[in-house]
Amino acid sequence: MRNALSIDVEDYFQVSAFAGHIRRADWATLPCRVERNVDLILGLLAQQRTHATFFTLGWIAERYPTLVRRIVAGGHELASHGYAHLRANEQTPAQFLDDIQRSKQLLEQLSGTAVLGYRAPSFSIGAANLAALDSLYAAGYRYSSSIYPIRHDHYGMPDGARFAWRPRGEYGVLELPISTIRLFGRNWPAGGGGYFRLLPYAASRWALRRINSVDGQAGIFYFHPWELDPGQPRQHGIAFKTRFRHYLNLHRMEGRIVHLLRDFQWGRIDHLFLGNA
């Protein structure tokens, strides 16, 4: 079974966990690593003849337009991660609509391709702000991958569907949650992120195989370019939990991604869930 591989294109200083430590006004002054890291990922994907979906920040695209074009030239899907990495649940409806329209228009202008998908920073769409999906539909998106059906201290909608669904009805956007497995009456993460770095690789392989064989569903996996970059500038004065989550096993990530690409068949989200759109 072919699974969906996705990359959230943001730089190390843009993660939500650093928001109280790194001022947004200082982003442009910090050393950027995103080009180097995305090029590394593009190389790994090319070696395995694999295509993926790149949820890309408008802020990044605006500064690195050739990077956007390299993603598209490699046969990958270009999707939106918003413009400025603002959490959907911390914006007014008007601000959110402006952010998703701005990023979509920018990405389409730079790439010459239609942008159909969106992923909210930090999976910040949930039960309290499902109306954000209506804004996505109005802005011309066809799918979202923004609701994570798990319990987490920063996000999550534990009672959300585990697989593709339409939270706003038949004519709303299609929601495609990151993969989970159901054990002991609870959903557990199985689709990447910090859990992929925390647990042994065999745990992720087992979980994805279970989703394919037991649930009969395609998995949806994600990671960030900065997770393959143990040489990124280290942040000091941050809380232990934040430091642990961000820096754990960065040096192992590239090797694990290579194993993942070899152990499973992968494809773009739009091709797997929307047809060859």
Task: Give 153's pLDDT tier (boundaries 50, 70, 90).
Answer: low
| pLDDT, the chain, mean | 95
Percent above pLDDT 70 for the chain? 98
DSSP assignment of the chain equals -EEEEEEEE--GGG-GGGTTTS-GGGGGGSPP-HHHHHHHHHHHHHHTT---EEEE-HHHHHH-HHHHHHHHHTTPEEEE--SS---GGGS-HHHHHHHHHHHHHHHHHHHSS---EE--GGG---GGGTTHHHHHHHTT--EE-----S--SS---TTS-SS-B-TT-TTSPEE-PPPEEEETTEEEE-SBTHHHHHS-HHHHHHHHHHHHHTS----EEEE-GGGG-TTSPPP-S--HHHHHHHHTTHHHHHHHHHHHHHHSEEE-HHHHHT---
106-118 residue pLDDT tens: 999 999 999 999 9
Task: Give 156's pLDDT tier (boundaries 50, 70, 90).
Answer: low
Chain centroid to Cα 164, Å, comes to 16
Q: Is 27's pLDDT higher than 50?
A: yes
Average pLDDT over residues 126-151: 95
Task: Give 277's pLDDT tier (boundaries 50, 70, 90).
Answer: very low
203-241 residue pLDDT tens: 999 999 999 999 999 999 999 999 999 999 999 999 999
167-177 residue pLDDT tens: 999 889 999 99
157-170 residue pLDDT tens: 888 999 999 999 98
Looking at residue 17, what is its pLDDT?
A: 87
For the chain, the C-alpha Rg in angstroms (whole number) is: 17
Looking at residue 14, what is its pLDDT?
A: 96
70-100 residue pLDDT tens: 999 999 999 999 999 999 999 999 999 999 9
Q: Is 127's pLDDT higher than 60?
A: yes
Chain centroid to Cα 10, Å, comes to 9
**Every domain of the chain and the residues it spans:** 2-273
Task: Give 275's pLDDT tier (boundaries 50, 70, 90).
Answer: confident
Q: Is 276's pLDDT higher than 70?
A: no
Identify the architecture of domain 2-273 in CATH: Alpha-Beta Barrel (3.20)
Q: Is 59's pLDDT higher than 90?
A: yes
CA dist 242 and 24 (Å) reads 18
